[in-house]
Amino acid sequence: MASAYPTSLAGLYQSNVVIVNGVARDLKEWKKSIKKATKAKKAKKFANEVRITTEEVKTLVSSVKIMRSLTAYYNNAYKQWGNIAKTLINFKGINKPFLSYILKANEVEKTIKEIAEIGKKGEKAVFQYIQKLAWQMEDVAKYITELAKGVNESGIMRGFKGHECIEGEGRRLGIRILVQRSSKAVKDINEIVCRLTNIAENGTDALNVANTLSYNDKMRVGA
Instruction: Answer for the pair 156, 91: CB distance below 8 angstroms, yes or no.
Output: yes
Give 11-17 contacts, CB < 8 A, sequence gap 24+.
Answer: none
Domain ranges, ordered by start, for the chain: 56-219
At 141 the pLDDT is 95
Residue range 57-73: mean pLDDT, rounded: 89
For residue 117, pLDDT over 80 is answered with: yes
For residue 152, pLDDT over 80 is answered with: yes
Which residues lie closer than 8 Å to 141 by C-beta, 6 or more apart? 186, 189, 190, 193
For residue 5, pLDDT over 70 is answered with: no
Q: What SS3 string covers the chain?
A: CCCCCCCCHHHHHHCCEEEECCEEEEHHHHHHHHHHHHHHHHHHHHHHHHHHHHHHHHHHHHCCHHHHHHHHHHHHHHHHHCHHHHHHHCCCCCHHHHHHHHHHHHHHHHHHHHHHHHHHCCCCCHHHHHHHHHHHHHHHHHHHHHHHHHHHHHCHHHHCCCCHHHHCCCCCCCHHHHHHHHHHHHHHHHHHHHHHHHHHHHHHHHCCHHHCCCHHHHHCCCC
More confident residue, 22 or 76: 76
Residue range 134-145: mean pLDDT, rounded: 95
How high does pLDDT run on average in the chain?
80
At 160 the pLDDT is 86
For residue 89, pLDDT over 90 is answered with: yes
Residue-wise pLDDT for 171-212, tens only, equals 889 999 999 999 899 998 999 999 888 888 887 666 553 444
Instruction: Please give the share of the chain, as a percent, with pLDDT higher than 90.
Output: 41
For residue 10, pLDDT over 60 is answered with: no
Residue-wise pLDDT for 66-85, tens only, equals 999 999 999 999 999 999 99
At 37 the pLDDT is 64
At 200 the pLDDT is 85
Residue range 127-151: mean pLDDT, rounded: 94
